[in-house]
Structure 1
Amino acid sequence: MTKFEALGLEKSLLDAITDMGFDTPSEVQEKSIPLLLSDEIDLVALAQTGTGKTAAFGFPLIQKIDHSSRTTQGLILSPTRELCLQITNEMQLYSKYVKGLNIVAVYGGASITEQARQIKRGAQIIVATPGRMKDMIGRGIIDISKIDYCVLDEADEMLNMGFYEDIKDILSNTPESKSTWLFSATMPKEVASIAKKFMHKPAEITVGSKNSGVDTVQHEYYTVGGRDRYPALKRLADANPGIFSVVFCRTKRDTQKVAEKLIEDGYNAGALHGDLSQNQRDLVMNAFRKKQIQMLVATDVAARGIDVDDITHVINYQLPDEIETYTHRSGRTGRAGKSGISMVIVTRSELRKIGAIEKKIQQKFISKKIPTGIEICEIQLYHLANRIRNTKINEEVNNYLPAIHDVLEGLDREELIQKIVSVEFTRFFNYYNRSKDLNTTDGDRGNRKEKDFQSDSGSVRYFINIGERDGYDWMSLKDFLKDTLSLGKEDLYKVDVKDSFAFFNADSQYKDFILETFTDFKVKGRFINVEVSDNPGGGRKRRRDKDSRRSNNKYGEKSRGKGRKKDSNFSKGSGGSRRSASSGRRSKKRDGFY
């Protein structure tokens, strides 16, 4: 018996699950599905975005619907057109082996006549946005007076968007005998009010803690001057060459302005906000899903319903007014079992908001420094070197090699490498050379005792020659180091994972122990090299060992030498190897080794 079969699902659904490649239900699915199948109850389920909520209510709803009747029996309300379409598509995949079941999406920005025609043909399940749904009820196009099930998906998002009155009006047209299933990431008072007014003694399921963030997301904040937000944003992007991100702004105007500046500076960026036409929104989102856009700058409302699992970073260019909104922002990354990073750019006057968010999401923020220009140059240099090393040779170039050899005649290997790398590196160096430090002091938060907030005095920064290509992210690399060094998680911090290398910090008391542990340390025959970096923020300083002639270069190549050999079982990080965001990316005009 499969794990999904044990939940009580019918064969038609199990066959669809097999086709989609699902093998293990998520926690919210394990808790919700048996409960909803066993009885006619009301349910409040609190779980973060990206935890599989659609299947948690979708499977039971499809199984309970009488598909032989054309009467509308189920209504799913969602906050945005994108999420409405996404839920509809997923529900259609779940029900591919259920004959006669018709699921119709009802949303604004599309022909109401066509949607009315689909409803008239018979729709057992309607997936709708509140505004269009209320409109169609008012016109007498949809009758929900006999529905058996009503699902409120992303309930807190709908209420944040001002749909409270619409939802009350819609629910007032439904029978009291129906079952109501409310799914939400957080439980603000407005959601509790809906539950109290329209639900009868609902069962409650909580995945994680109420209103808390997911533990696959690392939260960081960077303190800068008010005029340095945009330069700080660029540096964060340049310090993470594989970044695939959503950048959040508070207003439509700021969103458009930041996106335009990024595009002018050569980044693959796009804007997503309410002033765009539906066609423009579709074009932007399609480009983002294909990773032709590297940095999607969005307002909170426009970003609702974004369902992309590979987002590496969420960048809060400006903090939102509501803490619940931050929870939804950070939930765009760290999805489907992968890890992610949520970065916040703040001024000193906004630091108190960080503490308020920490209390709400029950997670600590890490105070980090904006990378210096030279640190960015170094990171990009390693990134470029690995791109060159891993580039597949195009055989068509052979026709031009004789002439190229003539042009490059007289250059030795070392000089040729220097020149090739300098073609790209010089552009970054010229831009960042003598660039100012964007960091400001953290004010009263600097006295906090937690490791993640401590100053760099008494802390040592290390370089290690493994990264994302080896299957590591910040979370799994931290676990690898913890297990290898037999240290606690609190003893290792500020873990920054790049494409083929990474940095981490530990207290200075562990310096000799860490360097000794990683002397001639091998994993599946490959030397894992750890060196002390030049500065606390990143970069590295080569460690010379008189007793060992063996050295391991920054690209993971090994050379022979003497010394005690250590080995370890090499297992990839739990997050898996993240796909590079450079695929489909246009080359930068100025800065970026893309």
Structure 2
Amino acid sequence: MSTFQQLGLNEDLLNGISDLGFETPSEIQQKAIPVLLEEERDLVALAQTGTGKTAAFGFPMLQKIDVNSRTTQGLILSPTRELCLQITNELKAYGKHCKGLNVVAIYGGASVTDQAKQIKKGAQIVVATPGRMKDMISRNLVDISKIQYSVLDEADEMLNMGFYEDITDILAHTPTDKSTWLFSATMPKEVASIAKEFMYDPIEITVGNKNESTSNVSHEYYLVNGRDRYLALKRLADANPDIFSVIFCRTKRDTQKIAEKLIEDGYSAGALHGDLSQNQRDLVMKSFRNKQIQMLVATDVAARGIDVDDITHVINYQLPDEIETYTHRSGRTGRAGKTGVSMVIVAKSEVRKIKSIERIIKRQFEKKDIPSGMEICEVQLMSLANKIHNTEVNHEIDKYLDSINELFEDTEKDELIKKFFSVEFTRFFNYYKNSKDLAVSDSGRSSDDGGRASGSDTRFFINVGRKDGYDWMSLKDFLKEVLELGRDDVFKVDVKDSFSFFNTEKENEEKVLAFFTEFKHNGRFVNVEVSENKGRSGGGRRDRGRGGKRKGNNNDRPRGERRSRRSNDSNKPEGRRSDRSPKKGRRSASDRPRRSRRK
């Protein structure tokens, strides 16, 4: 099937499609629309972001509902406010010629009263985020007891965000004989389980292979020392003068920090994360769509629902915790038949993750070196030359030509060109002329060392471990957060049953010890001491013993007198201090000196 007319859509929808300028249905639309129009069946559809999934379920739902009825007949659940609004606007556009159609969006951050009024007018289709939908059901502000169709859009992301119970509660208020359509980019076991629980004998449609990345996106990774991650990001931006990108960070805090640093350094950047108000998010997205922002720094959750087809690059400033999430990230580019690039900035300890991602997405990464300063200067110079060459002449300048020619009458052509281009070229040349090489060799053992040389770091003992719910990654994240360090400034994390070890740069030793003086977490003291052994205990092997006994070198203990291991009992005296010399209490974040930023 090569046209929308052949899919069986009615005249009203075909007129809407014509107004939107759509000509050829995408693969997921060709496969899903005829099935959903012909049968009342449950459906599981797997397709990457940007392949037209909204139209794949939207057209059949619009054709099947009764627009003359004020009863809510269709429910679409989506993970974020942005995606909820995007789906709502697209359905309204598709059903432009369907008289009486009312599609209402229900999401957090907006007035419950206003949304309830819109539903009361008669909403045939409700598009909602799970949290707000559950809230409105509990207040009896929406009735979904008679719906005929339910859609779980971006199901994998909703489950990753912890909406399983909300979805269960919401679907409990719906008829058992409804048709359920589940659309997802990946098929982890959690999505398979929800399909099994809430659906009956579903048809499965797959575009490409499960969890596979689109062929329109190329994948690259750049190996750097952890401390050079931000410098690498700036070089990648400078090496691509026409970049229009989404930069992914793992936390809201890192997202805000990186966006602020980019703005300080003169880049057109903005942050998108969950701590922004709805009005702030709308302003950021409006600026991004209008290309007033070239570099949008976002968390994975906030980036869901970004419907922009011209994104040239996705930059993974930090890799996600879940490998499947990388598929969602890379799906932000290479949309609507265009090509895109997904870049990953990695430290040595993360290279093994690249191989895992390759197996999931069934695509190979190309290892590339961070461009040198002089390479960037050349790229910027030629970019400027091309822009000037392709610029249309504004003849309003003609009246000033005599004065300009008089100013440059003694200047040779070559000299004039040099002067003209030096205005922009000199800025990059002065910045990069003495810049260091950021490339790192990936030879040797891959470990959680961030490429650091031994001797320049300090190893610490900390009295929390697996019994406290930590593994090496969660402990690393905890330390990074409380100490206000970069992710790769904490390394060689070794978690035992009731205690752990970690390393930081030598320069951070005083800061770490001062911070953990009388520090309490969840009602108990967390004690940190300097360990004499720089490396991993027991030659780097994990503690396989029982009862939390220490194994390995006895030197991997707190420095100073050979004390017995501290108890993890939370009932410690309130005034207890470490055996170090007394220090003043920890300063608040606002009192701490800010790190200097190199321009």
Q: Same fold (TM over 0.5)?
A: yes
Is the aligned partner of 1:387 residue 2:387? Answer: yes
Cα distance in structure 2, aligned partners of 1:32 and 1:261 = 45
Deviations 1:120-177, CA, capped at 9 Å, x for gaps: 1111110111011000100111111111100001111111111111011101111110
Distance (whole Å) between structure 2 residues aligned to residue 111 and residue 22 of structure 1: 34
Alignment of 1:234-313 (within 5 A): 234-313=234-313
Partner of 2:482: none
d(CA) in 2 for partners of 1:443 and 1:197?
Answer: 47
For the structure 1 residues 445 and 83, does the alpha-carbon distance in structure 2 shift closer, same or farther, using more than 3 Å as the test? farther
Task: Name the CA distance, whole Å, in 1 between partners of 2:125 and 2:439.
Answer: 53
Q: Which amino acid aligns with 2:20?
A: M
SS of aligned partner of 2:307:
coil
**Deviation string, structure 1 residues 190-213 (Cα, Å, up to 9, x no partner):** 111110100001000000000111
Unaligned runs of 5+ in 1: 447-589
What's the counterpart of residue 563 of structure 2?
none
- Cα offset, 1:98, TM superposition: 1.2
Give 1:5 shift. Answer: 1.2
The one-letter amino acid of 1:433's match is: K
Distance in 1 (CA, whole Å) between partners of 2:145 and 2:65 is 16
Cα deviation for residue 2 of structure 1 reads 7.2
| Within-5 A mapping of 1:182-581 | 182-443=182-443
CA-to-aligned-CA distance 1:477-508 (integer Å, 9 cap, x gap)? xxxxxxxxxxxxxxxxxxxxxxxxxxxxxxxx
User: How far 1:24 sits from its partner (Å)?
Assistant: 0.5
Determine if contact 1:221/1:366 at 8 Å carries over to the other structure: yes
Contact 2:3 2:23 in 1 (8 A): yes
Q: Which amino acid aligns with 1:210?
A: K
Aligned equivalents of 1:335, 1:193: Cα separation in 2: 29
Letter of the structure 1 residue corresponding to residue 345 of structure 2: I
SS state at 2:321 partner: coil
Matches within 5 A, 1:81-230: 81-230=81-230
2:282 match: secondary structure:
helix
Counterpart for residue 580 of structure 1: none
8 Å CA contact retained: 2:358, 2:365: yes
The 2-side partners of 1:252 and 1:330 are apart by 19
1:35-50 mapped onto 2 (5 Å cutoff)? 35-50=35-50
SS across alignment from 1:152:
strand
**Residues 223, 439 of structure 2: 8 Å contact kept:** yes
The 3-state SS of whatever aligns with 1:443 is coil
Deviation at 1:392, TM superposition (A): 2.2
Deviation at 1:67, TM superposition (A): 1.5
1:300 and 1:329 in contact (8 A); partners too: yes
Aligned partners of 1:60 and 1:356: how far apart in 2? 37
Residue of structure 2 in register with 1:69 after alignment? 69
CA contact (8 A) 2:2 2:25 kept: no
Distance across 1 between alignment mates of 2:135 and 2:84:
16
Quote the sequence identity (%): 73
Tell me the secondary structure at the aligned position of residue 257 of structure 1: helix
**Mapped partners of 1:404, 1:6: distance in 2:** 63
**Partner-residue secondary structure (3-state), 1:353:** helix
Q: 1:19: which partner in 2? A: 19
Q: Distance in 2 between matches of 1:276 and 1:396?
A: 44
SS of the equivalent of 1:50 reads: coil
What CA distance in whole angstroms lies between the structure 2 residues aligned with 1:445 and 1:64?
59
Name the aligned partner's letter for residue 133 of structure 2: M
RMSD of aligned residue pairs (Cα, Å) = 1.5
1: distance between equivalents of 2:104 and 2:444? 54
Rg larger for: 2
* Superposed displacement of residue 445, structure 1: 10
Secondary structure of 1:366's counterpart equals strand
- Aligned equivalents of 2:443 and 2:357: distance in 1? 17
Q: Is the 8 A contact 2:91 2:103 kept in 1?
A: yes
Q: Distance in 1 between matches of 2:66 and 2:429?
A: 66
- Deviation, 1:422, is 1.2
Give 1:61's aligned amino acid. M
Aligned match of 1:5? 5
Q: Deviations over 1:82-105 (max 9, x none)?
A: 111111111011111112221111
Cα deviations across residues 323-348 of structure 1 (Å, max 9, x unaligned)?
A: 11111000000000000000000001
TM-score normalised over the length of structure 2: 0.73
**Distance across 1 between alignment mates of 2:24 and 2:359:** 32
Aligned partner letter, 1:207: V
Deviations 1:202-240 (A, max 9, x none): 000000000111110000000000110011000000000
Secondary structure of the residue that 1:132 maps to in structure 2? helix
Q: Which runs of 5+ in 2 are unaligned?
A: 447-597
Query: Which stretch has the larger CA shift, 43-52 or 89-98?
Result: 89-98
Separation in 1, partners of 2:372, 2:314? 21
Hey, what's the Cα distance between the residues in 1 that align with 2:97 and 2:309? 26
> Contact 1:348/1:443 (CA < 8 Å) preserved in 2?
no
Residue-by-residue CA offset, 1:303-361 (whole Å, 9 max, x unaligned): 11111000000000000100111110000000000000000000011000000000011
Matched to 1:316, the amino acid is N
Q: Are the equivalent residues in 2 in contact too, given 1:103–1:123 (CA < 8 A)?
A: yes
**Is contact 1:249-1:300 (8 Å) kept?**
yes
1:492 paired residue number: none
Q: What is the SS of the residue equivalent to 1:70?
A: coil
Cα separation, 2, equivalents of 1:400 and 1:38:
69
Larger relative contact order (C-alpha < 8 A, sep ≥ 6)?
1
Task: Pick closer, same or farther for the CA change 1:401–1:216 going to 2, 3 Å.
Answer: same
User: 2:367 and 2:297 mapped to 1: Cα distance?
Assistant: 23
Q: Distance in 2 between matches of 1:217 and 1:35?
A: 29
